[in-house]
Amino acid sequence: MNIFFVLIFLLFVFLFYGLGSFKKSPREEEITPLFTERCGGSFGFTNLMPPLVRHAIYDQFVIISYGNTMLELNFNEINLVSKPRYLIGDFIRYHHNVSTLPRKIIINTRNSNEIIELLNKSNIKNKSTNA
């Protein structure tokens, strides 16, 4: 019987985070992203597995959403994008200067090279070593 409650709890968590990340910001309504993906991520003390995070890159900003949380980073607020090296996975870390957002924004992606290339075109510095 306990396993039943655990499964219900996990289903609730998945629905809360998974469905919440489909919401779009008003800034996104009329425009098409240059890049979008479902992925995992780490935001402050919150760690989520794929596909609970939506990561989208537009002409002038980046949107990361999960659950009821939507993080918006304008390109002028991004100081550096790095590719930290961990044992497993491919990651992108956004270093920014926005005090209202979590200091640690790490995206678990399969497309780090494509993301770095897109952001390089927008004159955002990148670093491909440890973050």
- For residue range 55-111, what is the model confidence (pLDDT) as tens digits? 999 999 999 998 888 999 999 999 999 998 777 788 999 999 999 999 999 999 999
Supply the pLDDT for residue 1.
61
Supply the pLDDT for residue 131.
42
Q: Which residue has the tokens 């996975």?
A: 89
Residue 117 CA: distances (Å) to CA of 27, 76, 82, 114, 125: 23, 17, 12, 5, 11
- In terms of residues, how long is the chain? 131
Cβ atoms of 70 and 102 within 8 Å: the answer is no
- For residue range 6-38, what is the model confidence (pLDDT) as tens digits? 888 877 776 666 565 567 888 888 899 999 999
Q: Which residue has the tokens 């993080």?
A: 71
Domains of the chain by start residue, with CATH: 2-127 (2.30.29.30)
Residue 127 CA: distances (Å) to CA of 3, 31, 40, 60, 92: 45, 29, 21, 20, 10
